[in-house]
Amino acid sequence: MEHNLRNLLLILTPVLFLANLAQSFFYLPASSRHASSPHMPSALYYTLFVAFFGAMIFALTAESLPLMWVAIELTTLVSAPLIAYHRDKDGLEAMWKYLLICSIGIAFALFGTMLVLHSQTIGSSRWFMAGFAFVLAGYGTKTGLAPFHSWLPDAHSEAPAPVSALLSGALLNCSFFAIVRFREIAPAEAVGFCDNSMLALGIFSVAVGAIFMVRQNDFKRLLAYSSVEHIGLITILYSLCAGCVDVKNMVVLALFAHIVAHSLTKTLLFQTAGNLLLAFRTRAVPVVQGLVVSMKGHAVLWLVGIVFICAMPPSVLFLSELALVFSAPFWVSALVLLLLFIVFAAMMKIALSMVMGKPLVKPDILPKSLAIVPSILLIAIILLGIASIFIVMA
Amino acid sequence: MITLSEIALALFLVADFILAGASRLRSAVRFVAMQGLVVGILPIFMWNWAEEGCPGARVWIIAFVNAVVKGVVLPLLLMYAVRKARTRRELEPIVSFPVSQIIVFFVAIGAFIVGRLLHVHASSASELAVPVALTTMGTGLLLICGRKKAITQVLGFLILENGISVFGAAILLEYGIIVELGILLDVFALVFILGIAVFQISRTFDSTDTDKLNHLGDTHLMHPHHQHDHVHA
Closest residue on chain B to A108 (Cα): B164
* Rounded Cα distance, A46 and A21, in Å: 8
* pLDDT over 90, % of chain A: 72
Q: What is the largest CA-CA distance in chain B?
A: 73
Of A46, A56, A61, A63, residue with least CA distance to A16: A56
pLDDT band of B219, cuts 50, 70, 90: low
Contact with chain B for residue A96, Cβ under 8 A = yes
Whether residue B132 contacts residue B183, with contact meaning beta carbons closer than 8 Å, is answered with no
Handedness of CA A245, A248, A250, A255 (dihedral sign): positive
Contact list in B for residue A221 (CB cut-off 8 A) is 218
Q: Would you call A99 exposed, middle or buried from its count of C-beta atoms within 10 A (0-12, 13-18, 19+)?
A: buried
Q: Helical H runs in chain A?
A: 2-34, 42-61, 65-83, 89-122, 125-143, 151-158, 161-166, 172-184, 191-213, 219-241, 250-280, 291-294, 296-309, 316-327, 330-355, 372-393
Contact B193 A284 (CB under 8 A): no
Domain ranges for chain B, please list them. Answer: 4-230
Of A255, A251, A261, residue with least CA distance to A329: A251
Bridge partner list, B209: B149
In the prediction, which pLDDT does B232 show?
A: 43
Of A135, A146, A44, A117, residue with least CA distance to A87: A44
Query: How many residue pairs bridge chain A and chain B with CB atoms within 8 Å of each other?
Result: 130
**Which of helix, strand or coil describes residue A86?**
strand
pLDDT band of A167, cuts 50, 70, 90: very high
Average pLDDT, chain A: 92
In the prediction, which pLDDT does B231 show?
A: 42
In the prediction, which pLDDT does B119 show?
A: 64
pLDDT digits (tens, 9 = 90+) for B72-112: 999 998 888 888 777 777 767 888 888 999 999 999 999 98
* Rounded Cα distance, A157 and A218, in Å: 8
Identity of the residue in A70, A96, A118 whose CB atom sits nearest the CB atom of B201: A96
pLDDT band of A304, cuts 50, 70, 90: very high
Q: What is the ipTM of this complex?
A: 0.87
Q: Of A15-24, A306-315, B166-175, which one has max mean pLDDT? A: A15-24
Type of residue at A137 = A
In the prediction, which pLDDT does A136 show?
A: 95
- For residue A279, the distance in angstroms to the closest alpha carbon of chain B comes to 8
* Rounded Cα distance, B43 and A237, in Å: 43
* pLDDT over 70, % of chain B: 88
Identity of the residue in A70, A114, A153 whose CB atom sits nearest the CB atom of B171: A114
Pick from A108, A218, A280 the residue to mutate for testing the B interface (most B CBs within 10 Å).
A218
C-alpha distances (whole Å) from A209 to each of A97, A228, A331, A340 are 19, 6, 19, 10
**Which of helix, strand or coil describes residue A39?**
strand
Contact B193 A94 (CB under 8 A): no
Pick from B139, B221, B226 the residue to mutate for testing the A interface (most A CBs within 10 Å).
B221
B-facing residues of A in 127-166 (CB < 8 A) are 153-154, 157-158
Residue B229 pLDDT more than 70? no
Domain ranges for chain A, please list them. Answer: 2-393
pLDDT digits (tens, 9 = 90+) for A199-255: 999 999 999 999 999 989 999 999 999 999 999 999 999 999 987 878 788 899 999
pTM of the model: 0.91
Higher pLDDT, A32 or A336: A336
Which value, in Å, is the radius of gyration of the alpha carbons in chain A? Answer: 20
Contact B190 A76 (CB under 8 A): yes
Contact A107 B232 (CB under 8 A): no
Whether residue A373 contacts residue A19, with contact meaning beta carbons closer than 8 Å, is answered with yes
C-alpha distances (whole Å) from B32 to each of A283, B6, B26, B72, B154 are 42, 18, 10, 10, 11
Closest residue on chain B to A283 (Cα): B230
Type of residue at B59 = V
Average pLDDT, chain B: 80
* Rounded Cα distance, A371 and A357, in Å: 22
Closest residue on chain A to B140 (Cα): A104
Q: What is the mean pLDDT of residues B15-29?
A: 89
* Rounded Cα distance, B99 and B96, in Å: 5
Contact list in A for residue B164 (CB cut-off 8 A) is 107, 110-111, 114
CB atoms closer than 10 angstroms to residue A311: 23
In the prediction, which pLDDT does B124 show?
A: 57
Q: What is the mean pLDDT of residues B210-225?
A: 64
pLDDT digits (tens, 9 = 90+) for A72-114: 999 999 999 999 998 888 888 899 899 989 999 999 999 999 8
